[in-house]
Structure 1
């Protein structure tokens, strides 16, 4: 009976899990979107724009190549970890990250063993904690810093515009932005300025920052500068238009966030409610819920329920995650 129940749960959950996880790689979506934008706005086939598109694809090839396998999505790659740490603005090392993963793995494993729970259950929870918790914390810190960067980035572009209209070169205006604007914007522009001082080209220094941050706003800035250096034109006017577009983009994001706040609140309530009910029943009648930690059948059923809830949470997140 126990084996049949386990096989039924796995036969139902595994196909859905494979469908959710084995989505098209990120490089295909990036190439498809880039080709759509190129076909929409480059109807005359300007050679300078095409050349810059090829350069951008070539510069991002090393970053995209590591995302081809399904294994790399779960196991932390040292290069990806280092890039995420830099995006979060922390001074951690990759070794410290792996030490944190080891602690996150060992603590729940020892706790479950001391509580007398099955070893296979302890290994599953400990592995999920070791692989997921450090990455989750790092992603939260990186997203918080990137959100601060995006908020102040239009101000930095407008400061660049004023410096260019005053007759300063682009390198000196970036140094002025680094000294005048505090926070992530100033630190990133200071890093670009430092790379240029040691001999890096402007496009290379900016593209390295764009790959580390992974924001569309800074990528727009890099593409604007690259195309302007190939085709010419008024850089101050182009950057001024870009700053206006980024502000409107930010306003649209805030509007969409406000419109989808009700759906997000409903998703949070639906996701938390089973755990709240489980905790309340366990507090009122501990013996009634003790079977989930002793009976193998209830453990398998609980694991299947958690997997289904995770899939549902992922689907709800994708439904309320709008791309601008």
Structure 2
């Protein structure tokens, strides 16, 4: 058995494994945990526990009402639902899965229509159906988080002015939710609503922190929690936090400017092979048709894509800095 057949067989096993992983059912451990949680909620004694249990039931009912039976097939469903909520677009898990399957059918069918090999069409279809929606959701989340971080120091300054004028913390949250548009106003509006239905301030803030997943908001939650336990001048502490966050944002912009040349070089080097391939294909298609039919050229092309992906990953880590 020669090398191309072995690689083709391995690609087939990989594709089958990805399909099995994509359509695997929920784990028994998670189902057991949910059942134990429901039993604890039914026998909750304190008022706070009863309110929290009712909130979880309401949220679960709202999430299940927008999902069809196909959404229950996705593994790590809670993590995917959290990612979709972070986009702020109101997308459901069912819509995400239908979009992924539609992309898979379109890409794989398009490649089969031009008589590409079946395994190559299947691999590119899986890459488009699984990778492209994940990348789009990730970019939307990153854009929303960047917008939040850009306006968050302004929100803290507004909180400081409200506290200095004598307003309580919850009232200043309400002012921020009304005055600031975009993700900042949406998140503070959610905090106010959770406090109104019975959550403590720490629980409401922590839920928003888990939703955003940003260090900036975690700093804010820690500041509020420490002040409520130890006391002190909250307005002054928040003013110092706002100054720290602004300096942190300035440092990020400075690093982005210093690494822009390296990023541009990485983009040019990564796009050059595809650009040359497209130019040669437009001038002489027959010269490159073997990459879609000849097994050895298909293996060479896939190997080149793998090595290019490794190089792009290494370059991205080299120009990525944590502050």
- The two structures share one fold, judged by TM-score above 0.5: yes
Structure 2, unaligned runs of 5 or more? 11-73
Shift in Å at residue 83 of structure 1? 1.5
Q: What's the counterpart of residue 252 of structure 1?
A: 251
Number of matched pairs: 260
Structure 1, unaligned runs of 5 or more? 12-74
* TM-score, length-scaled by structure 1: 0.77
Q: What's the counterpart of residue 170 of structure 1?
A: 169
CA distance in 1, matches of 2:144, 2:5: 43
- SS for the counterpart of 1:106 is helix
Q: What's the counterpart of residue 90 of structure 2?
A: 91
| Shift >2 Å, 4+ stretches | 2-11, 75-78
Shift in Å at residue 294 of structure 1? 1.2
Mapping 1:285-304, distance limit 5 Å: 285-304=284-303
- SS for the counterpart of 1:168 is coil
Mapping 1:196-235, distance limit 5 Å: 196-235=195-234
CA distance in 2, matches of 1:7, 1:257: 44
Q: What's the counterpart of residue 237 of structure 2?
A: 238
Shift in Å at residue 170 of structure 1? 0.6
Shift in Å at residue 77 of structure 1? 2.9
Q: What's the counterpart of residue 135 of structure 1?
A: 134
Comparing both chains, which one has the higher relative contact order based on Cα–Cα distances under 8 Å and sequence gaps of 6 or more?
1
Q: What's the counterpart of residue 267 of structure 1?
A: 266
CA distance in 1, matches of 2:8, 2:112: 25
Mapping 1:138-157, distance limit 5 Å: 138-157=137-156
* TM-score, length-scaled by structure 2: 0.77
Q: What's the counterpart of residue 161 of structure 1?
A: 160
CA distance in 1, matches of 2:230, 2:9: 57
1:123 aligns with 2:153: no
> Aligned-residue CA RMSD in angstroms?
1.9
Matched-pair contact (CA < 8 Å) for 2:195–2:204: yes
CA distance in 1, matches of 2:205, 2:147: 18
Q: What's the counterpart of residue 178 of structure 2?
A: 179
Distance 1:214 1:76, change over 3 A: farther
CA distance in 1, matches of 2:116, 2:96: 28
Matched-pair contact (CA < 8 Å) for 1:9–1:304: no
Shift in Å at residue 141 of structure 1? 0.9
